Amino acid sequence: MDSSFYYSLAVFILCFLLPGIMITIDFIRFLFTGKRLYNRSMQAILDFAAIIVFPALCLLFLDESENDCCDESAIFSPEHRLTIYILILLCVIFYFYSSFKKSVGSPVLEVISNCFLLLAIPLNGFISYQVGFPIALVWNLPIVFLFILQLAQNHRQLLEYSKEMDPTSGGIIVRLAWKILQLNPFVKIPLLLILCLPLMVLITAVLLLFGQKPDSIVRAFTDTYKHGFSQLDYMCDNVECGGHFLCSVAANGHKGFVKPERYGERGGGKIICNRQLLVSNAFEELMEQRLPKIHKVIRHNYNKVGNLVHRHYGIFNNKFVADAVYVLMKPLEWFFVLVLYTFDSKPENRIARQYLSAKDRKSIREKMKVH
């Protein structure tokens, strides 16, 4: 290996792994001794690296702009990701507010701050599952450790401050906030989690003005492909990268219109086959056998059309759009049938065997030998 590899490896370890390792060591030491390992300057550097630099890089390079069946796909649903981004931003803001403040703020602000510090922990857990290993270890786990440490630091600071403040001062909301902040952590944490709910409702209400939906926080995770909480993987079942994109789309239209005949197998997955798709694939097979050079040119250009379909597969997955594609492809289907019946001695046999599994093809060959 050349020196550039070792240089890149050293940079990766220094920039990504080392801060996470240092934060983990600091967290473990705090658990056993109750003391932080690093001075404030070093803590600020680690905070900046883990809470700003790492998430920014991961969201910039890993969270794609769209869902894609055939390439790296969006971590968060493009339509709903704003909700997650705002939550992450608020958690970061309140973390650094808590980290750099020199004295305890107003009780209401302190309650809100602790709510967001606490909210960041399950949020990072959900993001970890969505992103998957090993990014979660490098990115999310150190962040969780830092937020836990900051919650503990806030609790200590409030206990010290409570010795000097007058618990009866202020209005009823202020007094209630102080009582919450002074509770035992085993009581305070569940209560703060409950208080997170009205905060989430308020944030959701504001984000409605920016086109988000009441359930965007959930759909940001579920309306994706190929990630931890993804619920749209089925939309890629009938998509083959480099395959008969338009005919595959058309086969997903309304059953009474596009007339699916059977299931087929492609790339190890099950697909819906109608007459149009079977005829189109039979035509391509004939072209590949008889005119391979021309077939190669046609396939190369047709793949460009397929890439366009993949980039906007959410639109093409609509059944009415699929019906329209089916109609537009009908003249080509008739042309393919004409070619097959002109140049193939057994066109229907060729059509019938398209997208059969290897097992079914073998069974058919054996039966033909017997007869």
Is 230 contained in some domain? Answer: no
| 118-134 mean pLDDT | 89
- In tens, the pLDDT along 37-76 reads 888 889 998 999 889 988 888 888 778 777 777 667 789 9
Kindly state the tokens that stand for 9: 């490896």
Three-state helix/strand/coil letters over 218-246 = HHHHHCCCCCCCCCCHHHHCCCCCCCCHH
What burial letters (b/e) apply to 183-194, b meaning 16+ CB within 10 Å?
Answer: eeeeebbeebee
Residue 118 domain-assigned? yes
Structural domain includes residue 205: yes
At 206, the pLDDT band (50, 70, 90 cuts) reads very high
Instruction: Return the SS3 of 273.
Output: strand
* Same domain (yes/no): 205, 147: yes
Contact 127, 205 (CB under 8 A): no
Q: Are 316 and 322 in contact (CB under 8 A)?
A: yes
Q: List the domain range (segments joined by +) for residue 183.
A: 3-222
Shared domain check, 286 and 210 = no
Q: Report which of residues 247 and 297 the model is more confident about.
A: 297
More confident: 238 or 23: 23
- Residue tagged 């009582």 (tokens): 179
Q: Are 143 and 128 in contact (CB under 8 A)?
A: no
Regarding whether 180 and 78 lie in a shared domain, the answer is yes
In a domain, 347, yes or no: yes
Is the Cβ–Cβ distance between 270 and 263 less than 8 Å? Answer: yes
**Statement: residue 327 has pLDDT above 50:** yes
Verify that 67 and 133 share a domain, yes or no: yes
More confident of the two residues 219 and 171: 219
Instruction: Establish if 291 belongs to a structural domain.
Output: yes
CA gap 79, 147 in Å, rounded: 28
* Percent composition of the chain: helix, strand, coil (DSSP 3-state, to 5): 70, 5, 25
CA–CA gap between residue 329 and residue 75 (Å, rounded) = 34
Question: Do 146 and 8 belong together in one domain?
Answer: yes
- Residue 229 inside a domain? The answer is no
* Number of domain units in the chain: 2
Residues 211 and 247 in one domain: no
Domain stop point among 222, 249, 280 = 222
Looking at residue 148, what is its pLDDT?
94
Q: How would residue 13 be classed by pLDDT, with cut points 50, 70 and 90? A: low
Q: Encoding tokens for residue 355?
A: 């997208």
Please say which residue of 172, 196, 222 terminates a domain: 222
Query: Is there a single domain that holds both residue 191 and residue 132?
Result: yes
Compute the distance between CA of residue 22 and CA of residue 39 in angstroms, rounded to an integer. Answer: 13
| Amino acid, single-letter form, for residue 288 | E
Share of the chain above pLDDT 90, in %: 23
